[in-house]
């Protein structure tokens, strides 16, 4: 099933500078955010464990002016202390303990191991997988967000995050390569992590303060 939701608008992207100056901007922002939420809901409803989805908006000339892509947060669970602590708190320390893998070449992973010799490795991995799945359902990861320059810094991103945080506990932004955007996100992020593809930012409701 194609989890990319495609939307075509009648205006020309070059006219967005005019839209951004009047009341139509508010309507456009709300519509883009609604489409973004719909793309996530459609992806997750398509099958259990489906996190990949996208809203792809084009103008009358079929040129993209707004794109948001979602992906699974699972590979990033070991990158943030709040995720590690949550998983530890959700499992019995008399059964399973945890450590982080060495992140030299790849992202760090949370590794479960038996708390004693009476417990099997298979059992502790089942415990971890259950906890990790529950956690992933509380996180939405934005892998890419591309907004036309005319409507950047107009509140589209903040509105999107606000709406996502009504449904999820965390919004995870990954692979940010725009240095100016990264500088704005960092002071308001709950946690940050730098990887080879760019900077990652974990946001919760404190971002909206």
The string of pLDDT tens digits covering residues 162-205 is: 999 999 999 999 999 999 999 999 999 999 999 999 999 999 99
Q: What is the pLDDT of residue 50?
A: 76
Query: What pLDDT score was predicted for residue 7?
Result: 83
What structural domains does the chain harbor? 4-71+139-208 (3.40.630), 74-136 (no CATH)
CA atoms within 13 A of residue 88's CA, in its CB half-sphere = 13
The Cα 189–Cα 202 span in angstroms is 6
List residues bridging with 55 in a β-sheet. 5, 68
Predicted TM-score (pTM) of the model is 0.92
The 3-state DSSP class for residue 21 equals coil
Band (pLDDT 50/70/90 cuts) for residue 22 is low
Q: Please state the rounded mean pLDDT for residues 20-29.
A: 78
Higher-confidence residue of 207 and 104: namely 207
pLDDT at 105: 66
Instruction: Give tens-digit pLDDT for 7-21.
Output: 888 787 777 777 766
Please give the pLDDT value at position 44. Answer: 87
User: Is residue 98 exposed (0-12), middle (13-18) or buried (19+ Cβ within 10 Å)?
Assistant: middle
Assess whether pLDDT exceeds 70 at residue 30. yes
Check residue 2 and give its pLDDT: 56
φ/ψ of residue 129, rounded to 5: -60, -40
Mean pLDDT is lowest, of 102-111, 142-151, 194-203, for 102-111
Tokens, residue 141: 């990861």
Section 108-124 average pLDDT: 96
| pLDDT for the residue numbered 20 | 65
CA distance 80 to 29: 31
State the residue for tokens 């979602």.
Answer: 70
Q: State the pLDDT at residue 157.
A: 97
């Amino acid at each position: 099933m194609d989890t990319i939701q495609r939307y075509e608008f009648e205006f020309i992207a070059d006219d967005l500078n005019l839209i951004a100056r009047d009341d139509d901007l508010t309507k456009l922002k709300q519509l883009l955010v609604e489409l973004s939420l719909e793309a996530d809901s459609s992806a997750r409803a398509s099958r259990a464990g489906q996190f990949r989805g996208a809203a792809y908006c084009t103008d009358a000339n079929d040129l993209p002016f707004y794109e948001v892509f979602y992906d699974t947060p699972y590979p990033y669970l070991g990158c943030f202390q709040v995720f590690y602590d949550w998983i530890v708190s959700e499992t019995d320390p008399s059964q399973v303990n945890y450590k982080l893998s060495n992140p030299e070449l790849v992202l760090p992973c949370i590794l479960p191991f038996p708390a004693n010799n009476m417990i099997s490795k298979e059992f502790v991995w089942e415990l971890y997988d259950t906890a990790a799945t529950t956690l992933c359902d509380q996180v939405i990861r934005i892998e890419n967000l591309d907004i036309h320059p005319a409507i950047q810094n107009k509140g589209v991103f903040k509105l999107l995050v606000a709406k996502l945080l009504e449904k999820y506990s965390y919004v995870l932004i990954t692979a940010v390569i725009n240095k100016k955007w990264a500088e704005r996100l960092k002071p308001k992020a709950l946690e940050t992590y730098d990887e080879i593809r760019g900077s990652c930012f974990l946001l919760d409701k404190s971002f909206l303060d």
